A and B are shown apart, each in its own frame.
Chain A
Amino acid sequence: AQSVTQLGSHVSVSEGALVLLRCNYSSSVPPYLFWYVQYPNQGLQLLLKYTSAATLVKGINGFEAEFKKSETSFHLTKPSAHMSDAAEYFCAVSPLGGKLIFGQGTELSVKP
């Protein structure tokens, strides 16, 4: 069975600090991996996706994620946090394409 685990339901950083949101996956087949962001009262938006090409994936708003097969991880990073990055972030796996299986989410707070 495929699953995603996000370590830390809440992460708080200062503005300008590094953002690191952790995601580990379990999949019996090579997975497609995604990060989505959800702002309050808005729908989920795709940040970036890994589809078996380059292991370092760059997304929107300065975010990137690195696929590490040996660690079964797909952590999301951003070098410098901005106040507008405060939101809920979801990691998701799609085992063979199609439906997504989401993690439980990580709420990111950014302090001024």
Chain B
Amino acid sequence: DTGVSQDPRHKITKRGQNVTFRCDPISEHNRLYWYRQTLGQGPEFLTYFQNEAQLEKSRLLSDRFSAERPKGSFSTLEIQRTEQGDSAMYLCASSLNTPTSKLFFGSGTQLSVL
């Protein structure tokens, strides 16, 4: 199966620490998205890439968050100086580069900030 992979599945960290998550999209997909989901809420858009270019970033996204997709394949999402409010499920999705292409989601990385 060559679906969207996310690593790690779970991350527990202490407040103030930095964390980094990885996403490996479906190989032929050139769009990659990051979302955040908290309990009882729908996924909230964070940012997306087309190939290696970051085309949009949510205005709600703190400067402590940064994402990269250096070679247009895998992507990383880093959170610096984590806060308890950062605790959430971080979802990655990928798609082809057409307006109606469906997004394929990974299983997510669950972050707990103590």
Please give the residue numbers on chain A whose beta carbons come within 8 Å of chain B beta carbons, in ascending order: 4, 6, 9, 32, 34, 36, 41-46, 49, 51, 90, 92, 94, 96-105
Contact = CB atoms under 8 A, between A and B. Distances in A.
Of A4, A34, A36, A100, most buried by chain B (CB within 10 Å of CB) is: A100
B56 A43 contact: no
Contacts of B103: 44, 46, 100
A97 B100 contact: yes
B62 interface: no
Interface in B76-92: 91
Question: Which applies to chain B's interface (DSSP): helix, strand, loop or mixed?
Answer: loop
A38 B44 CA distance: 15
A101 B45 contact: yes
Q: Identify the 3 closest CB pairs spanning chains A and B, nearest first.
A: A97-B99, A102-B42, A43-B105
Contacts, number: 60
Of B98, B99, B106, most buried by chain A (CB within 10 Å of CB) is: B99
B98 A90 contact: no
Contact of A99 (B40, B48, B98, B106): B48
B4 interface: yes
Interface residues of B, number: 25
A43 B43 CA distance: 11
Interface of B: 3-4, 31, 33, 35, 40-45, 48, 56, 91, 93, 98-103, 105-108
Contact of A43 (B33, B100, B106): B106
10 contacts: A4-B42, A44-B93, A46-B102, A51-B100, A99-B48, A100-B43, A100-B45, A100-B103, A104-B40, A105-B40
Contacts of B93: 44
Contacts of A99: 33, 45, 48, 56
Of B48, B103, B107, most buried by chain A (CB within 10 Å of CB) is: B103
A40 B40 CA distance: 13
A92 B108 CA distance: 18
Given A98-B31, A99-B33, A105 B45 contact: no
Contacts of A41: 107
